[in-house]
Amino acid sequence: MKISFPYETKPSSIFGIIKRPVAKVSFWSKKFNRYLEYLMIVDTGADYTLFPFSAAEELGINPRKNCQPFKTAGIGGEEIVYLLRKAKMKIGNWRGSIPIGFLAREDIPPLLGRESCLNNLEVCLFRFNTILATLR
């Protein structure tokens, strides 16, 4: 599998316009009994995939019952993340079961991280395109 996504263009108060590497990723929703598609920032610096808290409801996950809470630290300080060890997902025809976290806030975009996902794909960020391919 080899799939390409154009960068997302967004306004920036610092740079005027920025372009971000993104991918369309589908996650299985127990609530709707089908895959839901998310436009996610491809974040090779993220250890695992991360969503805002509201995505848990869309996916039919109760973070306080189905996930392990833990503290994490980053540029914004300490936060509580609710980690689900395995979530069914797909990118194009590639499928996986990956850990996903839900940050106890809403002001973050969905981030596609390395653990069990980007670590299993070739990632190329080139000429404002995100190219993902299965490893040979």
Query: Would you say residue 136 has pLDDT above 70?
Result: no
Lowest mean pLDDT, pick from 3-17, 74-88, 89-103, 113-127: 74-88
Confidence of residue 112 (pLDDT cuts 50, 70, 90): very high
Domain of 67, in residue numbers: 2-134
Q: Report residue 117's pLDDT band, with 50, 70 and 90 as the boundaries.
A: very high
**Helices and strands per DSSP (H, E), number in the chain:** 2, 12
Q: What secondary structure does DSSP assign to 6-46, as a single string?
A: EPEEEEETTTEEEEE-EEEEEEEETTTTEEEEEEEEE-TT-
Q: What is the CATH number of the domain that holds 82?
A: 2.40.70.10
pTM (two decimals): 0.93
Query: For residue 54, what is the DSSP state?
Result: H
Count of the separate structural domains present in the chain: 1
Task: Please report how many Cα atoms fall inside a 13 Å half-sphere around the Cα of residue 1, on the Cβ side.
Answer: 13
- Token pair in block for residue 91: 């990118």
Residue 122 CA from chain centroid, whole number: 16
